[in-house]
Amino acid sequence: MSRTSLSRFLIEQQREAGALPPDLRHLIETIARACKAISHSVNKGALAGILGEAGTGNVQGEAQKKLDVIANDVLLEANEWGGNLAAMASEEMELPYSIPDGLPRGRYLLLFDPLDGSSNIDVNISVGTIFSVLECPESVTGHPTEADFLQPGTRQVAAGYTVYGPQTMLVLTFGNGVYGFTLDREQGGFVLTHPQMKVPAATGEFAINMSNMRHWEAPVKRYVDELLAGKTGPLNKDYNMRWVASMVAEVHRILTRGGIFMYPKDARDPAKPGKLRLMYEGNPMAFIVEQAGGLATNGHQRIMEIEPSKLHERVAVFLGSREEVERVTAYHRG
C-alpha cells in the first residue's frame, strides 16, 4: 500500500491552488525534524541521563525539567537558520528570540511550548510540543518586538502539536482541516495516518483537575456537578472523567474519540484569567479543535478572538465536543 509522507502531503497542499506557501511548507518540515529529535530524547529518558530537574526556572516561575531546556534549545537551533522566520517566542523564555544578524529572515513568527506536560516526564507519561505560526507584520523592518506577536488566534496561518506517547504523532492544521501523522521510526519520517480528524459533537468524557474544585467559579461547579450526577441528573447521561496533566495528551484524546477539556479560572489568584498560556497553548489548540469541528472558549468568548495584551498572557480554557462546550459557556454567560 502506498503511504503519504509528510513531505509529499505538504507538497500536494502547496500545489493545490497555492493552499500552502513554499516557505510555510519548509517551516513545517523544519519543525517536524526538530520534533523527531525531541522524541528521540524523550524516548531515551534515563538512558541518556536527562530526567529530573534542570535546576533553573522559566519566566513563569516554574521549575524547569532537563528536557524542557533540551526541547527549547532543539527548536531554537533547528529554526534559526532556515530563512523562514523573523523571530520566535517560547513559553520558557521571557522575551522573543530574534533571528541572529547574518542569517536570512523570513516572514513568519513561531511560538511554541517546547515540552507540554513536563511534570509527566519522570513517570513516563505522554508529553508533547505545541506550536503556532503567525505572519510578521509587514511594517517590521528590523528585529520583531513582543508587540508584533500580539495577534489574535484568528490570524494564525498554521498550528500543530506533537504527542510523544506509545507512538509519536504530529497533528497539523493550516485552516483546511486537521491531519495526523505517525512517526515511522524504521523509515525515519512522519506518515499520514489520520486524514481529516474530527471531534464528535457529543461526548461521554470530560477532563478537569478535580483537586481544584473548591476554587472554581459557580458556573464550573454547576456544570461538573451535572456531569457527576450522570443518568440521575439533568443531563441524563453517565460521564467518565480523565486527567493526564498534559494538554497535548488531553486534546489528542478528544480529537480521537471526543470529550471536553477544562482548565478554568479559579479563586487562588483572582488577578489571573486562567492557568494556561493564550499564545502557546490556548490559541494553537483552539485552532486545531475548531478545524476538527469542535469549539474552544474561555467561558465567555471564543479563545481565538481574544486580543492578547502580553506575550505570556494566561487564559481559561474549555475546548472539545461542541455540545458540551456550548453548555458550560452558556452557564458562564448566564
* Per-residue pLDDT at 54 exceeds 90: no
pLDDT band at 123 (very low <50, low <70, confident <90, very high): confident
294: helix, coil or strand? coil
Q: What CATH number does residue 110 fall under?
A: 3.30.540.10
**Domain-located, residue 66:** yes
**Domain-located, residue 141:** yes
- Our count of domains for the chain comes to 2
Q: Which three cell numbers stand for residue 319?
A: 475546548
Q: What is the mean pLDDT of residues 78-84?
A: 93
Q: Are residues 218 and 327 in the same domain?
A: yes
Least confident of 173-177, 186-190, 223-227: 186-190
Q: What CATH number does residue 326 fall under?
A: 3.40.190.80
Cα→Cα distances 176→16, 20, 25, 141, 256, Å: 12, 10, 15, 31, 18
- pLDDT at position 95 is 95
Query: What pTM was estimated for this model as a whole?
Result: 0.94
Is the CB of residue 41 less than 8 Å from the CB of residue 164?
no
- pLDDT at position 38 is 94
Query: In which domain, by residue range, is 243 found?
Result: 205-333
Q: Which three cell numbers stand for residue 128?
A: 508533547
Residue 74 region by backbone torsions, left for phi larger than 0, else alpha for psi between -120 and 50, else beta = alpha
* Per-residue pLDDT at 37 exceeds 70: yes
**Domain-located, residue 158:** yes
- pLDDT at position 52 is 65
Q: Are residues 212 and 174 in the same domain?
A: no
Share of the chain above pLDDT 70, in %: 95
- pLDDT at position 56 is 64
Given 170, 194, 218, the domain boundary residue is: 194
Backbone angles phi, psi at 312, to 5 degrees: -105, 35
* Per-residue pLDDT at 59 exceeds 70: no
Q: Are residues 176 and 38 in the same domain?
A: yes
pLDDT band at 293 (very low <50, low <70, confident <90, very high): very high
Q: In sequence order, what are the residues at sequence separation of 6 or more whose Cβ sits closer than 8 angstroms to the Cβ of residue 219?
A: 299, 328, 331, 332, 334
- pLDDT at position 45 is 76
* Per-residue pLDDT at 131 exceeds 80: yes
pLDDT in tens, 136-170: 998 887 899 999 999 999 999 999 999 999 999 99
* Per-residue pLDDT at 63 exceeds 60: no
* Per-residue pLDDT at 328 exceeds 90: yes
pLDDT band at 269 (very low <50, low <70, confident <90, very high): confident
First to last CA, the chain: 53
Q: Are residues 32 and 69 in the same domain?
A: yes
**Domain-located, residue 199:** no
Share of the chain above pLDDT 90, in %: 79
Q: Are residues 50 and 180 in the same domain?
A: yes
Q: Are residues 277 and 304 in the same domain?
A: yes
Q: Are residues 100 and 225 in the same domain?
A: no
Most confident range, picked from 14-23, 35-44, 177-186: 177-186
Is the CB of residue 77 less than 8 Å from the CB of residue 114?
no
* Per-residue pLDDT at 61 exceeds 70: no
pLDDT band at 47 (very low <50, low <70, confident <90, very high): confident
- pLDDT at position 46 is 78
pLDDT in tens, 231-254: 999 999 999 999 999 999 999 999
* Per-residue pLDDT at 270 exceeds 90: no
* Per-residue pLDDT at 31 exceeds 80: yes
Q: In sequence order, what are the residues at sequence separation of 6 or more whose Cβ sits closer than 8 angstroms to the Cβ of residue 105?
A: 83, 85, 86, 99
Q: Are residues 28 and 115 in the same domain?
A: yes
**Domain-located, residue 170:** yes
Is the CB of residue 133 less than 8 Å from the CB of residue 109?
yes
Q: Which residues are annotated as a binding site for substrate?
A: 116-119, 209, 275
- pLDDT at position 27 is 97
Q: Are residues 15 and 141 in the same domain?
A: yes
Q: Are residues 186 and 223 in the same domain?
A: no
- pLDDT at position 201 is 85
Given 194, 219, 238, the domain boundary residue is: 194
Tell me which amino acid residue 212 is: N
**Domain-located, residue 323:** yes
**Domain-located, residue 1:** no
* Per-residue pLDDT at 55 exceeds 70: no
CA separation for the pair 144, 148 (Å, rounded):
6
pLDDT in tens, 271-284: 889 999 999 999 99
Q: Which residues are annotated as a binding site for Mg(2+)?
A: 91, 113, 115-116, 281
* Per-residue pLDDT at 57 exceeds 60: no
Q: What is the mean pLDDT of residues 167-180?
A: 97
Q: Which three cell numbers stand for residue 261?
A: 477539556
Q: Which residues are annotated as a binding site?
A: 91, 113, 115-119, 209, 275, 281
> Shortest CA distance to 197 belongs to which of 241, 248, 253?
253
Q: Are residues 95 and 28 in the same domain?
A: yes
**Domain-located, residue 110:** yes
Question: Long-range contact list for 212-219, CB < 8 A, 24+ apart?
Answer: 212/266, 212/268, 215/266, 215/267, 215/268, 216/264, 216/266, 216/267, 217/264, 217/265, 217/266, 217/267, 217/332, 219/299, 219/328, 219/331, 219/332, 219/334
- pLDDT at position 17 is 63
Sign of the CA dihedral running 7, 13, 15, 21:
negative
Given 194, 213, 231, the domain boundary residue is: 194
Q: Are residues 83 and 232 in the same domain?
A: no
* Per-residue pLDDT at 50 exceeds 70: no
Cβ count near 150 (within 10 Å): 16
